[in-house]
Structure 1
Amino acid sequence: MSWEAAADVVVVGTGVAGLTAALRAREIGLRVLVVTKDTAPAGNTGWAQGGIAVFRPDEHDDGDSVEQHVEDTVVAGAGLCSRAAVRAILTDGAEAVERLRTTGAKFDADSPGSLSRAREGGHSAFRVIHAGGDATGAEVQRALVAATGDGGIPVLEHHCVVELLRGDSGALAGLLALDAAGSPGVVHAPAVVLATGGLGQLYAATTNPEVATADGVALALRAGAVVADLEFVQFHPTVLFAGGARGRRPLVTEAVRGEGAVLVDASGRRVMAGEHPLEDLAPRDVVSEAINRRLAETDAECVYLDASGIGASFARRFPTVHAACREVGVDPAHEPVPVTSAAHYSCGGVVATVDGRTSVSGLYAAGEVARTGLHGANRLASNSLLEGLVVASRAVDAVARDLRAGRISRQRGGYEAIPAAAVVDRDLLQRTMSRHVGIGREARGMGVATRLIDTSSVVRPLRTRQAVEDSSLALTAQALLAAATARTESRGCHRRSDLPNPDNRQWRSSIGWRLDVSGWLIRCDTDTSQSIA
C-alpha cells in the first residue's frame, strides 16, 4: 500500500450529485473526501444543456403543480416508474434548487426576481429553468466546484477507484484507488456515495464525455449490489451530425424544439407529423425511433432541424448550440441543422432508494449511476439534474442517520493484491454495442454481440486507469446485454424490432441483476422494490 486516507464518507465523482453530496456532508459535520479519476470540473454535468425541471410554488404556469410534474414523469416512464419515488424526489425539487442558488448558481431571468422557464419534450407546462441559455450544466458545475473549493473540501483528483473494499461483516470499509502515478492506496470510510455518472462510452457516438465509462455500475456489481433497468439507454434524438465522427458529439438541446424548431428529412417532410400528439415535443424515445425509421426509409445518414423560425435570437438563446453549428459550417438561424441520435442517458443503474441506500450496507448511490425509480423506462427531459441535487443530499442525510443508529460503522479494510478482471478492446466493444444494442435491437444481433464480447474478453490486472475503465465497460456491456435480451418486449427507450409491442402482463416490472459468488450475472427481480425510508 503506497498511501492511505480516511473519512466518514467518501464521495466518488464530481458532477452535480457528487459535489452536492460533499457540500451537504460538510454542512452537517461529516468528514468528507471526494475522489475523482479526472479533474473536478470533468464529467457529464458540465455538458447538460436543457436545464432543471422543477415546479416552484412562487413561479409556475396556471394549473401546474408537483402532481402534474409527477404525472408527466410517470407517463414518460412507460409503466416502470415508482410513483412514490417520483413524488418524493420532485416534491423536494424546489428546495434543492434554492440551495443550489445559495451556492452561487445563477439562472436566466425574464425580469428581476423572476426566472425564465422553458418547456421540453414530454412536459405539459413551462417548468424548466436554465442558465446561459443552453449552458445550465456548465453553470451548475461552476457553482458547485467553486463552493467545494471555498469550503475547503478535499478532492483527490486523478485518483481512479479500482475496487470497493468490504470488512469482515460484509459491510463497506472503503475503497482501493490508483493515484496519478498509478500507485495503489486505500481510503478508509464506513460509507461510500457513488456519483460516477453514466455509461455513454459503451457506444461509438454519445453525448457523454470520455470519463463516462460505467465505473459505478461495475464497482457496485463487484461489491455485491443489485442493478436494474440497464436496458433502458436513452438516445438523444438530436445531436449534431458530422459524417463519420465518433466519440462525444455536441447535442442540440430539445429546448430548441421547445422554441418552435421542427424536424424534417432531406426532402423537407416533417418527421414527427402524425407520430405523437406532441409531435416534435414528444418524449425522446418516440422522437429517436421516428428519426431512425425515417432514416431507414430514405437511406439517409441524418435528418434536419429547421430552426429558421427562431431567427436572429437563436445565437442569444442557444449560444452553445450556435457555436457548435458554426464550427461545422452551419448557420442555424438560416440553414437546417443536420442531426441524428446518439447514446445520451442511462435510466437504470445501481438500485437505490430515494435516500440513496443500496443493497450493500454502507454503499449509497446518487445521480445517473443510481436507479431510484424516478425515470422508469424513459427519462423525462431535464429531470436528471434535479434527481442528482435531491438524492445526493438525501443520501448524505441517510449516511448520518445510519452512523448514529449504528447501522454502519468503521471497519478495517485492505487489499492483498491489485484485482484482475476481464477487459475488451474498447473500439471493438463500442462498435459492437452501437451495431447491435442501439435503438433498434433484436435477439439475433444481441446474441452476436454477447458472444463477441465474451470471446474477446481477456483477464488483466487493473493497474491503470484504462484497464479499470475497460473492465467497467466490459462488465456493464454484459449486464446491459443480459437485461436487453431478457426483456422480450419494447418499452420506453428499449426498442426491439423483433418484438415491437409492450407486454404489460409480463414486463410491467424491472429486471434486477447481481453477480453470484463465481462472478456470473444472475437475475434477482425481487430486489428492485422501492423504499421511501
Structure 2
Amino acid sequence: MIIFVGAGVAGLTAVRQLVAAESDVTLVTAGRFGHDAIAAGNTALAQGGIAAALGPDDTPASHATDTIQAGAGLVIPEVAQLVATDGAKQVQDLLAAGFSADRNADGALAFGLEAARSKSRVVHAGEDSTGAALSGFLTNLVQHHVETGAVRLIEQATLQHIHTQTGRISGVTVCSPDGFRRLSADAVILATGGFAGLYANTSSAAAITGQGMLVAARAGAVLADMEFVQFHPTVVPGTGQLISEAVRGAGAVLRDSTGHRFMSAVHPGAELALRDVVSRASAQVMRDFQATSVWLDATVIEQRHGSGILAARFPVLTEALAALGFDWAAEYVPVAPAAHYCMGGVATDTAGRSSVAGLYAAGEVASTGFHGANRLASNSLLEGLVFGTRAAEAARRDLRYDSWEPEAEFTQFIATATDIPSPPLPSDDSPQQLRDLQLLADAHLGITRNGHDLESLLTQLNTVGHPLADLVRVMATAALQRPESRGGHWRADFPSQDPALARRAAWRLATSTQAMQPALTNTTQETLVHADT
C-alpha cells in the first residue's frame, strides 16, 4: 500500500503513475477532492505557466543554465539538467494526454517570457489560469480512477503523524471530521506543499502552512534550505491576490508614489530581474516613501497593443482586480511583496527519497537542489510533474525489490545535518496562536533579516505553543547560521555574498518522544490490505 498525502500537481501526477502500474493506492487530501480550493492547494493558484524547453530555438541545456543562474550558486547542476530534460518530455506527454495549452493562430504552442529567462519557454493554459487548468485536468483523470476503485480517496483529512517501525515507514495518522484514523502503509509520498502560509502577508493558500513538512521532520526527516523564502513582488496588499510575472513580461512597469519608474535604475533586467531583486527594491521604495505599496502600471500594455488587450490576455486577473475595485486598463494597481514560495523543505534525492526509509516527497514540500537559493518563475509546476513521476517510480521499484538505496551524494549531504532542539511546550494550535506565529515570521523572517532580529525571534518562539513554531525555529536557525546574503535570504548585517558559504545546509528537528505523539482521541485503527507493489 502506498499512501499519497496532497492533491496538487506532484501528488496527482504520482497517483496517475502508480495507477498505471496497478499499484495499491490511497490518496489523502485536506479538502473535498475536485470541489474546493483546499484540495487543489497552491497548484490551482499558479497563474504563470509551466516552463518547458519545447520551442524550436530552445534546449533543456539553456533552461538548466537559466535555472542555475537564478539559484545563486546553490543549484545542483545535474538536478537542473535532469528536470529541464525530463520536464520537456513530461509536458509533451501532458499535451498528448489532452491537456489544452494556449496556441498561436498557426496552432503552435504560445510561449510566454518571464523574468530571468533567456528564451520564451513558458507554456500557458487559459491565458493566466494555467495552474487551475492543470489542477482541473489532473483531478478529472484521478477522479476517474477513484470511481473505478483503482484509488481509495480519503477527503477532509490532515496528516498528523508518520509512524515508523524498525526505522521504516509503517503508516500515518490523519485527522478528519470523524476523528483520528491510523492507516497502515508500505510507503508514503508526501506532496503537501510549502510553508509560505506561515507568513501573515502571503500569496499562498491559507491552508499551506507546512503541516506536512513538520510531521515529516518529527518523524526524523532531514530538512534543507529552510532559510530561503521567495517573496513575490506584485501582490495586492491585504488580499493575497497575486499579479503574475507574465504581466511584467508583457510590458507592465513598477512606479513609486510619485509615478517614477524605479526598476530601470536598479537592475539591467528592470521589472524582469529576479524576484528577490524586484521585491527588495520595492520594499526599499516603500520605506523611502513610508508607503504601504508601490504601483503596477499595466496601462502601458493597453497603450502599446490596443484597448482590451489586458482583458483578452489576462481574463482571470482582470476579473479579480475588478472585484477588488481596480480597472487596471486605466489606473495603476497597488502592489507589495508577499511570501510566495519556499525553496526549503524535506531533503530528497532525485528519486524523491527522504532520509526516512519509505518516505518520499515531491513538489514544494521537498528540497531537491533544483531551485537553489531562489526559484526561477514557472519552474514549480514543472518540478511537480517531474518529481511526482520520479517519486512514484522509485516507490514502486523500491517496494518491488524490497530495497532502500538513496543516492550516494544525498546520503553524504544528510549526514551533515545539524540537530535543532524542540522545547517541550504545552501544545496550543488555536487560530490566535497561529496568527501570532505568522506575525512573528513577518517581523523577523521577511525580505530583509538581521542577526539581532533572528536571535530575538528564537527567544520569543520559546513561549509559542503552536506546533508549527518548530518549523519557524528551523527557518530562523538556518537564517541565523547563514551570515551572508544570497537569493531569497538577505541579511542587512551581511549584505554581501560569501563564496565560502556556497553550500546547502541540512537540519534535523530533535523532538522528544512525547512531543512526537499525536493526540489520538477518538482514534480508529485501520489496517489497509497490502498489495504486491
Task: Please report the TM-score for the alignment, with normalisation by the length of structure 1.
Answer: 0.87
Residue in 2 that maps onto 1:262: 253
Residue in 2 that maps onto 1:504: 499
Q: 1:328-360 CA deviation, whole Å, 9 max, x = no partner?
A: 221111111110010000011000112101111
Q: 1:88-119 CA deviation, whole Å, 9 max, x = no partner?
A: 11110122112323444211111353111101
Q: Which stretch has the larger CA shift, 492-501 or 271-280?
A: 271-280
Residue in 2 that maps onto 1:150: 144
Number of equivalenced pairs? 480
Residue in 2 that maps onto 1:12: 5
Give runs of aligned pairs for residues 22-421 of structure 1, distance below 5 A: 22-40=15-33, 41-56=39-54, 59-60=55-56, 62=57, 64-111=58-105, 113-152=107-146, 153-167=151-165, 169-181=166-178, 183-241=179-237, 245=238, 249-311=240-302, 312-407=308-403
> Aligned with 1:205: secondary structure?
coil
Q: Please, which of 486, 499, 502 is the counterpart of residue 491 of structure 1?
A: 486
Paired amino acid for 1:287: V
Aligned mates of 1:150, 1:378 — CA distance in 2: 37
Residue in 1 that maps onto 2:454: 446
Aligned mates of 2:514, 2:367 — CA distance in 1: 21
Paired amino acid for 1:19: L
Aligned mates of 2:382, 2:85 — CA distance in 1: 11
Q: 1:40-74 CA deviation, whole Å, 9 max, x = no partner?
A: 24311000000001101xx33x3x31111111101
Aligned mates of 1:420, 1:445 — CA distance in 2: 22
Residue in 2 that maps onto 1:528: none
The answer as to 2:477 corresponding to 1:482 is: yes
Maintained 8 Å contact 2:159/2:212: no
Maintained 8 Å contact 2:218/2:511: no
Task: Please report the TM-score for the alignment, with normalisation by the length of structure 2.
Answer: 0.87
Residue in 1 that maps onto 2:411: none
Residue 377 of structure 1 deviates from its aligned partner by 0.1
Aligned mates of 1:317, 1:398 — CA distance in 2: 40
Aligned mates of 2:448, 2:67 — CA distance in 1: 24
> Aligned with 1:273: secondary structure?
helix
Q: Relative to 1, partners in 2 of residues 1:520 and 1:155: Cα closer, same or farther, differing over 3 Å?
A: closer
> Aligned with 1:426: secondary structure?
helix
Maintained 8 Å contact 1:74/1:81: yes
> Aligned with 1:207: secondary structure?
coil
Consecutive unaligned residues of structure 2, counting only runs of 5 or more, are: 34-38, 303-307, 406-423, 516-533
Aligned mates of 2:319, 2:511 — CA distance in 1: 51
> Aligned with 2:104: secondary structure?
strand
Q: 1:368-400 CA deviation, whole Å, 9 max, x = no partner?
A: 000011100000000000000000101110011
> Aligned with 1:310: secondary structure?
helix
Residue in 2 that maps onto 1:467: none
Q: Which stretch has the larger CA shift, 146-155 or 383-392?
A: 146-155
> Aligned with 2:491: secondary structure?
coil
Q: 1:211-261 CA deviation, whole Å, 9 max, x = no partner?
A: 1010121011111111011110000000113xxx2xx60100010000011
Paired amino acid for 1:44: N
Paired amino acid for 2:492: S
Runs ≥4 residues deviating over 3 A: 419-424, 516-521
Residue 520 of structure 1 deviates from its aligned partner by 13
Q: Which stretch has the larger CA shift, 140-149 or 269-278?
A: 269-278
> Aligned with 1:111: secondary structure?
coil
Q: Please, which of 421, 441, 444 is the counterpart of residue 433 of structure 1?
A: 441
Paired amino acid for 2:153: V
Q: Which stretch has the larger CA shift, 202-211 or 109-118?
A: 109-118
Maintained 8 Å contact 1:103/1:143: no
Aligned mates of 2:89, 2:117 — CA distance in 1: 20
Maintained 8 Å contact 2:60/2:88: no
Q: Which stretch has the larger CA shift, 427-436 or 146-155?
A: 146-155
> Aligned with 2:242: secondary structure?
coil
Q: Which stretch has the larger CA shift, 138-147 or 270-279?
A: 270-279
Residue in 2 that maps onto 1:529: none
Q: Relative to 1, partners in 2 of residues 1:520 and 1:341: Cα closer, same or farther, differing over 3 Å?
A: farther
Residue in 2 that maps onto 1:416: none
Residue 515 of structure 1 deviates from its aligned partner by 2.3
Identity of aligned residues (%): 42
Maintained 8 Å contact 1:93/1:390: yes
Aligned mates of 1:235, 1:428 — CA distance in 2: 20
Residue 144 of structure 1 deviates from its aligned partner by 0.7
